[in-house]
């Protein structure tokens, strides 16, 4: 009987906290963390992009290209001087050249595997191909990351962000071996994956369960669908999402209501454990899959394995050929 009273009390509080917010309908914590890590990440990404444009120095690099027609050698926004953008024919995202990105740490399979530049698996997530690429990612990071950090703290969200970006780089290296790759998209998809697994593992505390689940699934599906367009590294998206999804089960489970209120409960009321049985199961399975995935992935990358040799249909996860465009299958 006491345990039934605890649960009924929890249900009453949950109902009274009915909230229309999709991501977090119920929050039992008394206080929220102040978000500072996500803003720091945003500032860091913007600062790195400024460095990219400074190093790129478009006017200096295009003026001697005699083999290119004059109109195609003109930098965009030339009033910015050395911070002006590469010609749109070369980079339609308003950014630096691919050689500059590669110089500063873009993910390049050859350099990672054969020149032992493993640091590119991390550095690539701080680079962006252009200002459009940067703005899209940073707005998404602010919208998703700040709310997550307020609810779960900078340590857990920082771990999810960084490890998801790393996981995205690993999967990208297995399949994208003839092009460079940059961007924080893998880390952002990791945050989306963590939101989904957090919803699942904390299912009982939500009031609008189905609405929250469907909304998240639609958002993820739309973003992954965009990844099948040419020149978009969808493998970084998928790798980051899977990493964040598993990390969410490990880092974001919510304790049972009775355990959190154990000090305020009358004597004789016994709370068996901090988490429910299914949360422990998800925690163990996810941790095993994470360790196994990172280990196998890194071993395959440094052995020079081509992912397409093991999964021929996987090419359609990154690009689907249509009458309007073709996919580079090499």
Catalytic positions, please?
Answer: 185, 237
SS3 302: helix
Tokens of 6: 């605890």
DSSP-derived letter for residue 105 is T
* Nearest residue to 95 (alpha-carbon basis) of 40, 54, 43: 54
Residues in Cβ contact with 190 at an 8 Å cutoff, skipping those fewer than 6 apart:
160, 161, 163, 164, 165, 167, 168, 240, 241, 243, 244, 247
Q: What angle, 0 to 180 degrees and rounded to 10, lies between the N-to-C axes of helices 185-201 and 154-175?
A: 120
Tokens of 288: 């095993």
Concatenate the DSSP letters of all residues of 21-54 into one string.
Answer: -SS-S----SS-PPP-HHHHHHHHHHHHHHHHHH
SS3 124: helix
Tokens of 33: 């963390």
Residues in Cβ contact with 260 at an 8 Å cutoff, skipping those fewer than 6 apart:
28
Q: What angle, 0 to 180 degrees and rounded to 10, lies between the N-to-C axes of helices 277-302 and 154-175?
A: 40
* Nearest residue to 139 (alpha-carbon basis) of 124, 153, 128: 128
Alpha-carbon distance of 178 to 301, in angstroms, equals 14
């Amino acid at each position: 009987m006491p345990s039934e009273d605890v649960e009924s009390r929890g249900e009453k509080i949950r109902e009274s906290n009915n909230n229309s917010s999709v991501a977090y309908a119920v929050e039992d914590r008394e206080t929220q963390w102040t978000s500072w890590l996500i803003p720091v990440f945003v500032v860091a990404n913007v600062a790195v992009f400024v460095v990219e444009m400074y190093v790129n120095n478009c006017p200096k690099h295009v003026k001697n290209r005699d083999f290119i027609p004059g109109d195609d050698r003109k930098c965009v926004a030339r009033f910015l001087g050395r911070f002006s953008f590469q010609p749109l024919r070369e980079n339609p995202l308003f950014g630096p050249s691919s050689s500059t990105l590669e110089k500063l740490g873009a993910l390049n399979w050859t350099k990672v595997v054969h020149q032992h530049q493993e640091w590119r698996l991390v550095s690539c997530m701080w680079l962006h191909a252009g200002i459009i690429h940067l703005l899209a990612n940073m707005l998404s990071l602010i919208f998703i990351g700040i709310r997550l950090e307020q609810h779960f703290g900078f340590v857990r969200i920082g771990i999810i962000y960084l490890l998801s970006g790393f996981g995205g780089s690993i999967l990208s290296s297995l399949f994208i071996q003839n092009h460079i790759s940059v961007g924080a998209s893998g880390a952002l998809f990791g945050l989306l994956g963590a939101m989904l697994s957090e919803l699942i593992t904390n299912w009982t505390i939500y009031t609008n369960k189905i609405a929250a689940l469907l909304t998240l699934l639609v958002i993820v599906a739309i973003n992954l669908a965009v990844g099948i367009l040419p020149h978009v590294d969808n493998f970084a998206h998928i790798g980051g999402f899977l990493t964040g999804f598993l990390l969410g089960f490990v880092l974001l489970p919510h304790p049972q209501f009775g355990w959190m209120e154990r000090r305020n409960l009358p004597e004789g009321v016994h709370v068996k454990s901090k988490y429910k049985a299914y949360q422990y199961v998800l925690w163990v399975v996810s941790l095993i899959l994470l360790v196994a995935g990172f280990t196998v992935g890194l071993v395959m990358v440094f052995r020079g394995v081509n992912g397409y040799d093991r999964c021929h249909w996987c090419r359609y996860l990154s690009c689907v050929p249509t009458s309007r465009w073709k996919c580079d299958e090499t």
